[in-house]
Amino acid sequence: MAKPVLSDRLARWYLQFQQFEIIYVPAKAVKGQILADFLADHPLPAEWELTDELPDEEVFMVELPWSMYFDGAAHRDGAGAGVVFYTPEADILPYSFTLTRRCSNNVAEYQALILGLETAVDMKQLHLRVYGDSKLVVNQLLGVYDVKKPELIPYYKYARQLMGYLGNVTIEHIPRNFNQQADSLARVASMITLPSHRNQISICQNWVIPPMFDEGNDSEEENTYHIFVHEIEKEDWRHLIIDYLNHGKLPEDPKKRVDIRRRAPRFIYYKGTLYRRSFDGVFLRCLGEDEAMQAMEEAHSGICGAHQSGPKLHFRIKRMGYYWPTMVKDCIDFARRCQACQFHGNFIHQPPEPLHPTVASWPFDAWGLDIVGPLPKSSGGHVFILAATDYFSKWAEAIPLREVKKENVVDFIRLHIIYRYGVPRYIITDNGKPFCNVAMNKLCEKFHFKQYNSSMYYAAANGLAEAFNKTLCNLLKKS
């Protein structure tokens, strides 16, 4: 990547990396790298027992901490506490307690914390991370807030005492939406009080499918038939290729046999996922019908860029690392069905014309600059957009501005054009004051390039810049 002359594939990668400002830095020599690579390629199996090969060394076992989430709920009908433990092995231990006395919400939060700490002491779990959504309780235990209410002082002292018994305990505040399980247990305990001989509530997973029958024909109940309808799974195009790669199975249709044998060498099946090798040597993850629809929605709706046409959307999804056989047709159909694109699309009133030769004969040889605005003020206070378009590749660079000054234009040309793509041969602008000034003339003399101005009072003379401005305004309307 650091060579002055790159090959075809490396040049394409270099152009794609430019928008992310990724710079290649060669790795420096690291002592012991060969040993580290060997240990990484040949890890010890988990079932091997520790051996005392070095008698002067001691083996320390690091115990992973448990996580405890607590919450309390209090209202006029009762109060409850909920505690949930998460083990390093991903096991969940939920506890729900009904408080026998009415209390405030802060007291209920302290009750939930103390009950959870007592449970951890009984289990002899000394390494614990505690999470709660009560900012008052957490900050009082961290020493940020002072305990001013007399009814909270005994609970505060007892909680600190239990934390001292456990030893290594950390407490942290989290938002309520991250503590939903403990909050649900606390609400259930505050509403339901079980008898003393029963302390468990059964929570089952089930879904009821009612039988289908005709209520009007009661006399024909003896001749009714129960019909069970099962959802037929749609055929996934990946299954045939995976069966051939793993088991060598081929379908019975001769045409599909030939097609799969022809396409299979470009696919690999690794860790339960099918990948396709692209022409650039990059492995693309193969998607099913539902995943492909989700990828098109996210890439087209603006999460990964503005609303684009079908072919452009297809190339963007491929660059993101995804593939399915009908992605070109699906992307074109999806872009045509987009409601925002239909509302703000351009009306073409002229027939197609023959292609015209481009003005520039080399990438980044000539640029067209223009200012878009004023626009509605954004959250950052930006009102204008300074845009530059390359006449050869139609590549565009744009930055938002609060106000248009000659210093901003000079810095934009130096940082976003010259430092990124090299010194151009000439730049085309209009006759505005931000473009025609002494600072601009000095920049041209310093880097030895020319500045051409479009015709007076005729903006269409700088047609490429105006065309990009129209496209940019349409994208802002869609978003």
The full 3-state SS of 133-170, as one line of letters, equals: CCHHHHHHHHCCCCCCCHHHHHHHHHHHHHHHHHCEEE
The mean pLDDT value for 10-20 works out to: 75
Mean pLDDT, rounded, for 7-33: 71
pLDDT value of position 456: 63
Q: What's the half-sphere exposure (Cβ side, CA atoms, 13 Å) at 294?
A: 6
Instruction: Show me where the domains of the chain are located.
Output: 66-205, 237-344, 366-477
Domain 366-477: CATH superfamily is Ribonuclease H-like superfamily/Ribonuclease H (3.30.420.10)
- Which of 98-112, 418-432, 459-473 has the least mean pLDDT? 459-473
Which band of pLDDT confidence, cut at 50, 70 and 90, is reported for residue 225? very low
CA–CA gap between residue 165 and residue 161 (Å, rounded): 6
- Highest mean pLDDT among 17-26, 204-213, 267-276 belongs to 267-276
DSSP state of 263: H
**For residues 277 and 283, is the Cβ–Cβ distance under 8 A?**
yes
Residue 94, helix vs strand vs coil? strand
What does the pLDDT look like over 443-472, one tens digit per residue? 999 998 888 887 665 555 555 556 666 666
* Span 294-353, pLDDT tens digits: 888 888 776 656 677 778 888 888 888 888 888 888 888 888 888 777 777 666 666 566
pLDDT of residue 241: 85
The predicted pLDDT at position 304 comes to: 55
pLDDT band, residue 358 (cuts 50/70/90): low
265-280 pLDDT per residue, tens = 888 888 888 888 888 7
Strand residue runs (E) in 157-236: 168-173
Helix, strand or coil, per DSSP, at residue 67: strand
CA 122 → CA 80, 126, 200, 444, 451, distances in Å?
Answer: 21, 10, 20, 78, 80
Say yes or no to pLDDT of 228 above 70: no
Domains 66-205 and 366-477 share a fold: yes
Q: How far apart are alpha carbons 476 and 86 in whole angstroms?
A: 46
The reply to whether CATH 1.20.120.80 applies to domain 237-344 is no
For the residues 281-285, what does the mean pLDDT come to? 84
CB 430 within 8 A of CB 459: yes
Please report the pLDDT score of residue 216 as a whole number: 46
- Which residues, including other chains, have CB under 8 Å from residue 398's CB and lie 6 or more apart? 385, 386, 387, 388, 472
**For residue 214, what pLDDT is reported?**
45
Superfamily of 66-205 according to CATH: Ribonuclease H-like superfamily/Ribonuclease H (3.30.420.10)
Tell which wins on pLDDT, 76 or 163: 163
The pLDDT tens digits of the residues spanning 76-96 come to 777 888 888 888 888 888 888
**Count of beta carbons in the 10 Å neighbourhood of residue 239:** 13
What is the pTM for the complete model shown?
0.34
Tens of pLDDT, residue by residue over 365-400, are 888 888 887 888 888 888 888 888 888 888 888 888
C-alpha distances in angstroms, 375 versus 37, 134, 407, 444?
55, 44, 21, 30
Q: What is the pLDDT of residue 127?
A: 82
More confident call, 98 vs 215: 98
Which residues neighbour 408 within 8 Å (Cβ) at sequence distance 6 or greater?
386, 401, 434
